[in-house]
Chains A and B, each alone.
Chain A
Amino acid sequence: MAGIEVTALHKRYPDGTVAVDHVDLSIGDGELFVMLGPSGCGKTTTLRSIAGLERQTTGDIRIGDTLVNDLPPAERDIAMVFQFYALYPHLRTRDNLAFPLRAEGLPKPEVQERVDEAARLMRLGPLLDRRPRQLSGGEQQRVALARALVRRPRAFLMDEPLTNLDAELRADMRTEIKHLQGELGTTMVYVTHDQVEAMSLGHRIAILNKGRVEQIGTPLEVYDRPASLFCAAFIGSPPMNLIEVEVADGKLRSKSGLALTPPPGLPRDRSLVAGVRPEALEVTEPGAEGSVPARVVSAEWLGDEIIYVVDHDGQRDVRVRMPPTVRFAADAPVGLRHTGGPPPVYDVSTEELVA
């Protein structure tokens, strides 16, 4: 087991595309670290550089105390799980599991023992004599995980391993992976574009955009105080409301007069945007204390909650999360009120968090 240090990683392809601009990561020993971002943000390239499947243009990668820049993938002592499983199609499950061990030249009894152990851990017993095409997607992914396990590597690298599974199976596998990682205590780097997966799995999350790290933090930090407008828009469903605000006599107000709790240390001379989570707002009867007049555009009834989309003077499509007991009809005049603590505030021009 070992931590992973990525320093000033830069990857430029021969055709001129810059996949990773500048990435610094410090992944702790035994950590489940998630890299999250939209497609093309450089997360997979970063992972493949750690694996040794791509050679970075500049920058250093250390696994444990070893500088692995020039080591081939097999000598980095890591295991990787792919989106397309990559089980060898001509081998039975048993042989797929044993393959990396035989390639290492381990003695037969030990190969047998390790395969049995991984099969028990991933509950593959009945599948051991089948070939990949006789397995369902979920089973294939479990075999792929087991194949990563048998090697007892210093770190697991996961490249969107659940993307090809259907929703229900994905949730099950998510739990399973989290549980497994906790039990083994092996460092895991997990790449995904799914923010729910990232939030539920990661000890820490790195949000990547255009080949750069926008923010690194625990799921709660990332949710409560997104470090940039990009992170604010990326994390959370429905996403944060970005409301233009100005500072006036110690108060933070939107243009239409909606009052927000001001965070300390606000700069006065810049145009600002506040990021307000849907649950930090409240739809009230029109004219309620501290509310501004608004109108319901639509309501999404989700059973355990209702997402109201409201317009208020000059601000369209504000999303508000309400309990299912509070009901307003579409088009009804209502009030809108801020209930939470100080929201994160961003500078419009730099798109960075200022307070």
Chain B
Amino acid sequence: MAVSVDEAVSAGPVRDHSPPARRFGGRGRAVLEVALLTVLAVVMLFPVLWMIETSIKENRDVYAIPAKFFDFKVTLDHFRDVFVASGGGRSALSVSFLNSVVVAGVSTVLATVLGVPAAWAYSRFSVKAKKDQLFFILSTRFMPPVVVVIPIFLMYRQVGLFDSKLGLILIYTAFNVPFTIWMMKGFVDEVPAEYEDAAMLDGYTRLQAFWRFTLPLLLPGIAATAVFALIFSWNEFVFAIFLTSSDSVRTAPPAIAGLIGGTTVDWGLVAAASVVFALPVLVFAYLVRKHLVAGVTLGAVRR
């Protein structure tokens, strides 16, 4: 159904009863949509595809001009180099990956353990200046890390937290707790407080009521929140590069960035390290995707 603008305007009152959107709709529109989305998808995904391709190319194919898109030899050497040092033994990169797992994992667990009960308390109890407190908690997230990293660096050096995993864990937890409180408060608000009231009438203490009845209903929310916190800690770069100096403490983002620079850059290794770095978060998000969707839609409890 091709209708020119002139026709559409001068068609008179009765000729076409279909709603206005349909005049520009139909096949043409669908084709255009698909084309536009394809272009967008290619533009967005090309760097990712190129990263994956580079990670499995041999070095001379990586530097080939013109670039080779399809006809290259597949090799997993770069992935081996990510984990194994050139003389045997563990590579510095593999150590930094392990550091990332420890730092991101522990800080996420800590933020959840601290943030969920806090969110519950803010949701359930009448607290003096509750809104101001919540705003203050959120305001700690307003400042970009790079603004506070120098003072924190100085403080950490004084108290001996500089270049330690504990230091990174603490700072990531501090950044994730406000986020956890805010996001979890929304989930707690959705669970009727009557469950806890009923449980208390049945003989449980307030904390037991929370633990036995509210917490299980919060699990989808906790999963969604933890994924976001984990992604933050896993990807964090600024604190990681300023607050660590040795290879044994450094997390993956600064370690991968450290591969670039110097006289030659082993792009195959950079790409392979990036792929390995991206995978855990993707896998984790995929595993909890059901909870993520539930988290976005909320309203899981019928009122």
Binding site for B on A (CB under 8 A): 13-17, 48, 51-53, 72-74, 78-80, 82-86, 88-90, 99-100, 103-104, 133, 164
> Which of B200, B203, B302 is the one whose CB lies under 8 Å from A53?
B200
> Which of B201, B217, B302 is the one whose CB lies under 8 Å from A51?
B201
Bound together, the chains give a CA A73 to CA B202 distance in angstroms of: 8
Which residues 29-70 in B have Cβ within 8 Å of A in the complex?
none
> Which of A14, A53, A79 is the one whose CB lies under 8 Å from B126?
A14
Q: Return 27 A-B CB contacts under 8 Å, by A number.
A: A13-B126, A14-B126, A14-B128, A15-B126, A15-B127, A15-B129, A16-B128, A48-B197, A51-B201, A52-B200, A53-B201, A72-B200, A73-B197, A73-B200, A74-B200, A74-B204, A80-B197, A82-B192, A82-B194, A82-B198, A86-B192, A86-B194, A86-B195, A86-B197, A89-B217, A103-B204, A104-B203
Binding site for A on B (CB under 8 A): 126-130, 192, 194-195, 197-198, 200-205, 213, 216-217, 301-303
On chain A, the residues within 8 Å of B129 by CB distance are: 15
* A84 & B192 in contact (Cβ 8 Å cutoff): yes
| A90 in contact with B197 given A84-B192, A103-B204 (CB within 8 Å) | no
Interface of B is mostly: loop
* B198 & A14 in contact (Cβ 8 Å cutoff): no
> Which of B202, B213, B216, B217 is the one whose CB lies under 8 Å from A74?
B202
**Chain B nearest CB: distance from A189 CB in Å?**
14
Q: For residue A74, which residue of chain B has the nearest CB?
A: B203
Interface centre among A14, A52, A73, A100 (most CB of B within 10 A): A73
* A79 & B128 in contact (Cβ 8 Å cutoff): no
For the A-B complex with A73-B201, A88-B198 known, give 14 more contacts whose Cβ atoms are closer than 8 Å.
A14-B128, A15-B126, A15-B127, A48-B197, A51-B201, A72-B200, A73-B200, A79-B201, A80-B197, A80-B198, A83-B194, A84-B194, A88-B213, A103-B204
Bound together, the chains give a CA A73 to CA B217 distance in angstroms of: 23
> Which of A48, A72, A82, A85 is the one whose CB lies under 8 Å from B205?
A72
**Chain A nearest CB: distance from B128 CB in Å?**
5
| A103 in contact with B202 given A14-B128, A17-B126, A88-B213 (CB within 8 Å) | yes
Q: For residue B195, which residue of chain A has the nearest CB?
A: A86
> Which of A13, A14, A82 is the one whose CB lies under 8 Å from B197?
A82
Bound together, the chains give a CA A89 to CA B191 distance in angstroms of: 11
On chain A, the residues within 8 Å of B194 by CB distance are: 82-86
On chain A, the residues within 8 Å of B201 by CB distance are: 51, 53, 73-74, 78-80, 100
How many residue-residue contacts, CB under 8 A, span A and B?
63
| A53 in contact with B197 given A88-B213, A89-B301, A90-B216 (CB within 8 Å) | yes
* B126 & A133 in contact (Cβ 8 Å cutoff): no
On chain B, the residues within 8 Å of A16 by CB distance are: 128
* A84 & B303 in contact (Cβ 8 Å cutoff): yes
On chain B, the residues within 8 Å of A86 by CB distance are: 192, 194-195, 197-198
* B302 & A133 in contact (Cβ 8 Å cutoff): yes
On chain B, the residues within 8 Å of A78 by CB distance are: 201
| Nearest 4 A/B pairs, CB to CB | A86-B194, A74-B203, A86-B198, A82-B194
* B205 & A15 in contact (Cβ 8 Å cutoff): no
On chain A, the residues within 8 Å of B127 by CB distance are: 14-15
Q: For residue B126, which residue of chain A has the nearest CB?
A: A13
> Which of A15, A88, A89, A99 is the one whose CB lies under 8 Å from B128?
A15
**Chain A nearest CB: distance from B233 CB in Å?**
32
Bound together, the chains give a CA A82 to CA B201 distance in angstroms of: 12
Interface centre among B198, B202, B203, B217 (most CB of A within 10 A): B198
On chain A, the residues within 8 Å of B130 by CB distance are: 15
* A103 & B203 in contact (Cβ 8 Å cutoff): yes
Bound together, the chains give a CA A78 to CA B126 distance in angstroms of: 25
Bound together, the chains give a CA A325 to CA B184 distance in angstroms of: 62
